[in-house]
Amino acid sequence: MKLTRTLTLLFLLISMHTMAQKEPNYDESKVPALSLPDLFISESGAYIKSKTEWENVRKPEIFKLFEREVYGQIPKDFDQITFELVSQTANPYEDISTLEEVNITVLRNGKSHTMRLNFFLPKTGNGPFPVILLINYKPKYADGRLNEEGFWPVKELIERGFATASFHAETVAPDQVESFQSGIISTLYPEQSGLADGIKALGAWGWGAMRAMDYFEHHPKVDSQKSILVGFSRSGKAALWTSANDPRWAITFANESGCGGAALSKRKFGETVEAINRRFPHWFADNFKKYNENEESLPLDQHMLPGLIAPRAVYYASAREDQWADPKGEYLGLSLGSRVYSEIYGKKAEFLTEFEQFSGPVHLESVGYHIREGKHNLTWEDWRIFLEFVEKNL
């Protein structure tokens, strides 16, 4: 009897909790009228027109806003970094490439953390090769031996003359609320814990990408000036913030990065700030939670992110059925943000077409976008179209 009552109470509590969670909005007519912060009006009210003003005034202001309110501060300092080649093999693509499995060990304040990088080099030619890094969070693709649907198409990339590498996000910060700190945060950067603008998992993964770049820079067969950073979904968000922090990436590709990545938060379409912070409280800085169901008061939006990467190239992609990631919000984030490329850097980067009107990829100078049919995934089709952009922009 008592058990039945307890169970009924539990059931009631669970249903109340579920009801309290808002249904996502997929109706364009319910999207609020957008009032977005102006890219070019500085905090002191000045209108920013020149490259010097942009780089000295407005860009640092916007960077600080994202750092404080959204992603947290990626730490840049450490005492030592070492690279250890743990194994070198011709497998799994023995005719065309070599796989180097590398331990990257970073020392800070007497503590050390090791992350693993899987790095494929073409066998044809001496290089130096342009390099593509994928921030991976799917365990089954960790070693590059699996290539279902082209998630990490190592063979195809090697055949096109790229070196390519990937690290598994969990070797830097586990993707769980209970344990995300047990990677670099608790070991190397314990002071980040508990800060309202401290990094969580996304920032830690970005730090991992930077350490991979340290490896590329020291590798004689890599042309690190031609390096491409790729992320999908949660790692797409991480890739964008990484590139905003680290100017060494020539091209940054965020595939279906959605809320907290490419898509405008203030549209509240599909995944919202509240929804992402509730499901993944260990991704963004604590400050971002202030904007749960309160996007209006965000002092920024995602259209301000591409400008932190400019003038280096940036590429977004969406999938038509991936409404949760808000394809239109992703397109707007980039098309509005591309004004930094055209107005400050004088590039041919204006998006001339409304989201509803275009079909093929939009490949402009240093800025590109495509949408494909289908669901949320990183597929060979995404890579293939992206590589056409790379050919013109690397």
Q: Where on the chain is the footprint of ligand GTR (CB under 6 A)?
A: 233-234, 258-259, 271, 276
CB of 323 to ligand GTR, least distance (A): 12
Ramachandran quadrant class, 188 (left: phi over 0; alpha: psi -120 to 50; beta: rest): alpha
Q: Which is nearer to ligand GTR, 100 or 271 (CB)?
A: 271
Q: Which is nearer to ligand GTR, 98 or 171 (CB)?
A: 171
Give the strand pairing for 163-168 and 251-255: unpaired
Q: Which is nearer to ligand GTR, 250 or 325 (CB)?
A: 325
- CB contact at 8 A, 368 and 343: no
Q: Which is nearer to ligand GTR, 211 or 234 (CB)?
A: 234
CB of 212 to ligand GTR, least distance (A): 19
CB of 273 to ligand GTR, least distance (A): 11
State the Cα–Cα distance between residues 176 and 172, nearest whole angstrom. 12
State the Cα–Cα distance between residues 260 and 275, nearest whole angstrom. 11
CB of 233 to ligand GTR, least distance (A): 3
Looking at residue 83, the DSSP 8-state letter turns out to be E
Q: Which is nearer to ligand GTR, 58 or 266 (CB)?
A: 266
Strand partners, 100: 88, 119
Give the residue from 371, 316, 361 showing the smallest Cα distance to 338.
316
Ramachandran quadrant class, 261 (left: phi over 0; alpha: psi -120 to 50; beta: rest): alpha
CB of 276 to ligand GTR, least distance (A): 5
Q: Where are the beta strands (DSSP E) in 207-352?
A: 222-232, 251-255, 313-319
